[in-house]
Amino acid sequence: MSDSSAPERPLEHHVFDEWPDAVRALFDGSSLASKTGFTASLLSVDTNGHVRTSLLGVGELYAPDSRTLCIALWPQARATRAIAQSGRAALTFVCDEAFYQVQLLMTPLASVAGDASGLVYLHGSIDTAEAQSVRYARLTSGITFALEGEGEAVLDRWERQIEHLKQAAAAAGR
């Protein structure tokens, strides 16, 4: 006699093409002070095949809808150049006790009137995305940070950056 029940799989794997609610709330551009410390890793590959990483906080990420993510990057960052060349990037992060990896198709957004930050704004569409977790271990965080010294100035800058990302996304009709 065989046991008809399937063995429990230790790995939970979810594929998605729209941001789950918890992720959408994380990237909604609101309550930035309460989300300080969250870090996402933006990965890109340059023309030499080298992986470039930029660590981003919630003040540099904005999801205007369920399938896209707008990103603010410094123009001198190697990842910015790599994304401009390839049009692709991957975002990895921990949220809601799961590890997320999202492949993004990237395009530039127009600059925003009155924005003197010098940042480059990009629009990413979800190409493929997955979340993984295991039942025997709960992910409590990924890479995290604490604002030091000029934390209020950083939060103020993030508020402006998110506003500019919102304006750039709206101007692009996204």
| Confidence grade of residue 6 (pLDDT, cut at 50, 70, 90) | very low
Q: What pLDDT shows up at residue 1?
A: 45
**Does 28 fall in a domain?**
yes
Mean of the per-residue pLDDT values of the chain: 91
- Whether 90 contacts 102, CB under 8 Å: yes
pLDDT score at 43 = 97
* Per-residue H/E/C for 103-117: EEEEEECCCCCCCCC
Whether residue 7 lies inside any domain: the answer is no
1 belongs to a structural domain:
no
Lowest mean pLDDT among 9-13, 66-70, 82-86, 94-98: 9-13
Question: 170 by DSSP, 3-state: which?
Answer: helix
Phi, psi of 97 (to 5 degrees): 65, 20
4 pLDDT above the threshold of 70: no
**Percent of the chain whose predicted confidence (pLDDT) is above 90:** 74
- Cβ(123)–Cβ(169) under 8 Å? yes
Tell whether 88 is covered by a domain. yes
Domains of the chain: total? 1
pLDDT at residue 21 above 50?
yes
pLDDT digits (tens, 9 = 90+) for 153-168: 999 999 999 999 999 9
Q: Does 133 reside within a domain?
A: yes
DSSP annotation of 20 reads -
In the numeric block, which tokens belong to residue 152? Answer: 């209020």
Give the single-character DSSP code of 76.
T
The pLDDT of residue 30 is 97
Judge whether 40 lies within some domain.
Answer: yes
Measured between its terminal Cα atoms, the distance across the chain in Å is: 57
What is the predicted pLDDT for the residue at 174? 62
Identify whether the C-beta of residue 30 lies closer than 8 Å to the C-beta of residue 78: no
Q: Looking at the domain assignment, is residue 5 inside a domain? A: no
Q: What value, to the nearest 5°, has the Cα angle with vertex 68 and ends 45 and 101?
A: 50
CATH number assigned to the domain comprising residue 83: 2.30.110.10
Tell me, yes or no, if the pTM score tops 0.75: yes
pLDDT above 80 (res 10) = no
pLDDT at residue 9, as a whole number? 64
- Of all residues in the chain, the percent with pLDDT exceeding 70 is 94
As beta bridge partners, residue 107 has 123
Domain that holds residue 50: 12-171
Report the pLDDT value the prediction gives residue 139, as an integer from 0 to 100. 87
**What radius of gyration, in Å, describes the C-alpha atoms of the chain?**
18
Mean pLDDT for the stretch of residues 100-123: 93
Each residue of 34-54: pLDDT tens digit? Answer: 999 999 999 999 999 999 999
User: Does the residue 2 lie in any domain?
Assistant: no
